[in-house]
Amino acid sequence: MRVGVLTGGGDCPGLNAVIRGIVRKGVQEYGYDFVGFRDGWRGPLEGDTVRLDIPAVRGILPRGGTILGSSRTNPLKAENGIRRIKDNLAKLDVQALIAIGGEDTLGVAARLSDEYAVPCVGVPKTIDNDLSATDYTFGFDTAVNIATEAIDRLHTTAESHMRVLVVEVMGRHAGWIAIHSGLAGGANAILIPEQRFDVEQVCAWVTSRFRASYAPIVVVAEGAMPKDGDMVLKDGSLDSFGHVRLSGVGEWLAKEIERRTGKEARTTVLGHVQRGGTPSAFDRWLATRFGLHAIECVHDGDFGKMVSLRSTDIVRVPLAEATAKLKTVNPKLYEEVGVFFG
């Protein structure tokens, strides 16, 4: 059997570990061979492939990024997209496709599988951890560790200069990276997309922190919004799945804090640093297990499924269910961490 593999959407630490898990088990246990598709859905759409065998996956476990390349290509928007993918898979004699991606990449896999009989298996990836059908996505733990280390380092500058430091983290419309790294890094305020924030309240927390002779760190998720006002965006452009490019709220908030409190406030936007470099041990472990289970799914002919973490077990869930609903931070959890604000 020949199996195609692609990685789509934003890159994420652990992608290479999944690819390695798939190929090692597929070749060693099942005698399969593999075709790597380049740059997400662009690969099968254009028939652009890369060699994917045991030598190709040697040494990639700790490497960030993806050896297959990635893109946000949406084949459902391309002319004759479905037909072209089907023709290319037939031409290359690819009988199953493993798509490693987030909401968008897996959304395409779900439609190809359910509506067009393309045998797909999905693996959930995203630093945002916002897929509801899995407890964790790989990449998230690494992103949280990077953000936490950055917050730890920013504390020293904040204290030395007695300034407010605002840290903008990624996460799109979910506050998981913000709440985990903010709590782990001892932030004095954590602002998430799920709860609109009151700038006056943030300023009150900042002021109370200075009163205790400490300098405040404010962690703000890129998708967080002020109570009265719209989303603050530096660049309102859309990607090919129609998502607006986020970022800008951190800069805006620092200016507001400075204007309202008279204290110097600066912003650090962590941006793609959170997605870069070597995956954490947890992400290598999770990504590898996802890879092993994904190829087992193919071997069982169990298509239209996504592998998912439930507690410590890897289970299979329908791809359509996996992408149906975003997993967001619930108000109770946010309330729980609120004891540290101010």
Distance CA(261)–CA(108), nearest Å, equals 48
* E strand spans, 16-173: 33-37, 49-52, 96-101, 120-124, 164-169
- Three-state DSSP class for 309? strand
* 14/304 with CB nearer ligand F6P: 14
- Three-state DSSP class for 310? strand
Residue 160 C-beta: closest distance to ligand F6P, Å: 30
* 59/271 with CB nearer ligand F6P: 271
Q: Is the dihedral of CA 195, 199, 200, 203 positive or negative?
A: positive
Count of residues binding ligand F6P (CB under 6 A)? 12
Residue 220 C-beta: closest distance to ligand F6P, Å: 13
76: exposed, middle or buried (C-beta count within 10 Å: 0-12, 13-18, 19+)?
middle
314: exposed, middle or buried (C-beta count within 10 Å: 0-12, 13-18, 19+)?
middle
Q: What one-letter code names the amino acid at 290? A: F
State yes or no: is 93 an active-site residue. Answer: no
Quick one: DSSP state of residue 13?
T
* 205/241 with CB nearer ligand F6P: 241
Residue of 4, 8, 10, 122 interacting with ligand F6P (CB under 6 A): 10
* 275/293 with CB nearer ligand F6P: 275
> Which x/- pattern over 106-135 shows residues binding ligand F6P (rule: CB under 6 A)?
--------------------xxx-------
Binding-site positions for diphosphate read: 10
Interface with ligand F6P includes 245 (CB under 6 A)?
yes
Binding residues for ligand F6P restricted to 267-296, rule: CB under 6 A: 275
| Residue in 104, 128, 130, 283 annotated catalytic | 128
The residue whose two tokens read 């199996």 is: 3
Interface with ligand F6P includes 97 (CB under 6 A)?
no
Interface with ligand F6P includes 171 (CB under 6 A)?
yes
Catalytic residue list:
128
The residues binding ligand F6P (CB under 6 A) are 10, 102, 126-128, 170-172, 222, 245-246, 275
